[in-house]
Amino acid sequence: MQSYIDKTDKKQIEDLANESLPILYDYLRLPSISAQHMKITETVKYVERMLLDLGGKVKILDDLGGNPVVYACFAAASSGDTGSQKTLLFYNHYDVQPPDPLDEWESEPFEPVLKDGILYARGTADNKGSLLQRLVAIKYLQENGGLPCTVKFLIEGEEESGSRHLEPYLRKYKELFQADACIWEFGSLDDKERVQLYAGIKGSAYFELSTKSAAIDIHSSLAACIDNPAWRLVQALASMKNQQNDILVDGFFDEIKEPDEKTRKLVKELPFDKEAFRDLFGLTRPLITEARGEDPREALMFHPTMTICGMVSGYIGEGSKTVLPKEAKVKVDCRMVPGQTGEYLHRCIKRHLERHGFSDIKVDLIDAQRAYRSNINHPFVQLVKTTAEEAYRTKAVLYPNSEGTGPMYIFNRYLSLPIVSTGVGWAQSKAHAPNESIRIKDYIDGTVHMVCLLQALPEI
């Protein structure tokens, strides 16, 4: 493959990126929080206007429930050659996480602040910055000979709340979104300034477990006679995972599709700095992989999880209140690997609780998304890595999958295409946390990457 970095005018891209910042700022000012149904209509209109202003053909799909899905298409400059018959699909989302806890923000979460080359606001890294970066790349190519291939966008508004309505849209409109390959929505540079690329994603099954033992909260002096739902829930949870972090639910691992040897070899070669990992999160306890004698790289890529995300019962306010609570609830998520399904894990957990004497505990499956991995040897996957190293002038690390979750599985189910995730973040982006940010230099380098990738796509 020829080098495309020499054909790219980085100064022009830098100028276009800087010119796009006021547009990005206005986009970031929209608190499009899907979990709270905030500013969705206004944000869809803003996204539509950005795409139309670049000459895209746009459709707002809103006939199947949920927040609207935005489709856009930018035609190749020429329809006569082989290259222009290639199509790249970008997946983005316009919704963001709630900004809580507000008291930990150093600036207003929905008022962008640029300081020392770092742009702070909710949605910068996840995912509004990545969308604008891709639009800047299109604008550059439009002004320098035209797009070498067709570019499509699918921009949804429920990614941060589970993409619950996306599958019906993909099923109905799969012809509209057909493409040769897909660039996913997230990615960052790591603490060693290496570009992180992801060829897949873990799945997730999100559960609520609850039990109720009375109509009202009761004075705790009566605990000598009355069962406590909080204790029952704690004991039920302890039966599901032991102190050695073994998941004890029968059938939990039955569906797993084991990775092939090439993928295992790739994971063994991934970088992992244990101390930097600990410092990044301020960990106070050893990694659980140490006691288990496991490679943390293999655990992050290949192992399913069971995590208590939060518990509610009784009184947790300031001071004391001696109460025996009437009910208890817990949220649990299970990160799944290829082969596993939330529906099967739901049945396994219910059966486990019944067998261990906890049939009173109700188990609801709130949401489930399956895991997916692209073929790491696919030419497109390798092309993304090669062009990333050119554009960023640094090493790119290809992960077979992210530890996180998104609707990648259904994209492959309906569109059958290789998918790689790359984005505009950095090691301190703090997506989902206070003081979320991106660096302007990464915004520019990432735009160069998208330009190089679009130029190179016709070669595969």
Going by the DSSP 8-state scheme, the letter that residue 30 receives in this structure is S
Asked whether 229 and 212 are in contact (CB, 8 A), the reply is yes
The pLDDT of residue 7? 73
Asked whether 202 and 337 are in contact (CB, 8 A), the reply is yes
Nearest CA to 87 among 177, 173, 149, 176? 149
d(CA 365, CA 387): 41
Per-residue pLDDT at 83 exceeds 60: no
Question: Region 166-179: what's the mean pLDDT?
Answer: 98
Per-residue pLDDT at 337 exceeds 80: yes
Query: CA torsion sign, 76 to 77 to 80 to 84?
Result: negative
Per-residue pLDDT at 82 exceeds 80: no
144-to-56, 67, 237, 300, 390 alpha-carbon distances in Å: 17, 35, 60, 42, 19
d(CA 184, CA 218): 51
- Residue 252 tokens read as 């939990």
Going by the DSSP 8-state scheme, the letter that residue 77 receives in this structure is S
d(CA 215, CA 364): 21
Tokens 């499956």 sit at which residue? 365
Residues 67-87, buried b or exposed e (16+ Cβ, 10 A)?
bbbbbbbbbbbeeeeebbebb
Asked whether 120 and 437 are in contact (CB, 8 A), the reply is yes
Domains of the chain: 5-199+374-459 (3.40.630.10), 204-369 (3.30.70.360)
Tokens 């477990």 sit at which residue? 209
Question: Region 238-259: what's the mean pLDDT?
Answer: 97
The pLDDT of residue 336? 98
d(CA 153, CA 59): 10
**Tens digits of per-residue pLDDT, 193-216?**
999 999 999 999 999 999 999 999
Question: Region 21-30: what's the mean pLDDT?
Answer: 98
Q: Parallel, antiparallel, or unpaired: how do β-strands 396-399 and 195-198 relate?
A: parallel
Q: How far is C-alpha 231 from the chain's CA centre?
A: 34
Q: E strand or H helix at 335, and its extent?
A: strand 327-336
d(CA 129, CA 327): 42
The pLDDT of residue 3? 73
**Tens digits of per-residue pLDDT, 351-361?**
999 999 999 99
d(CA 351, CA 47): 46
289-to-241, 250, 299, 302, 334 alpha-carbon distances in Å: 15, 22, 8, 13, 17
Q: How far is C-alpha 358 from the chain's CA centre?
A: 34
**Tens digits of per-residue pLDDT, 272-325?**
999 989 998 899 999 999 999 999 999 999 999 999 999 999 999 999 999 999
Decide: helix, strand or coil at residue 150: strand
Per-residue pLDDT at 342 exceeds 90: yes
- Alpha helices for 393-439 (secondary structure H): 408-415
Confidence of residue 112 (pLDDT cuts 50, 70, 90): very high
333-to-30, 114, 206 alpha-carbon distances in Å: 29, 35, 4
d(CA 233, CA 382): 48
The whole model's pTM is what? 0.92
- Residue 409 tokens read as 């599985």
Q: Parallel, antiparallel, or unpaired: how do β-strands 323-324 and 195-198 relate?
A: unpaired
- Rg, C-alpha atoms of the chain: 24
The pLDDT of residue 1? 55
Question: Looking at per-residue confidence, does 7 or 14 come out higher?
Answer: 14
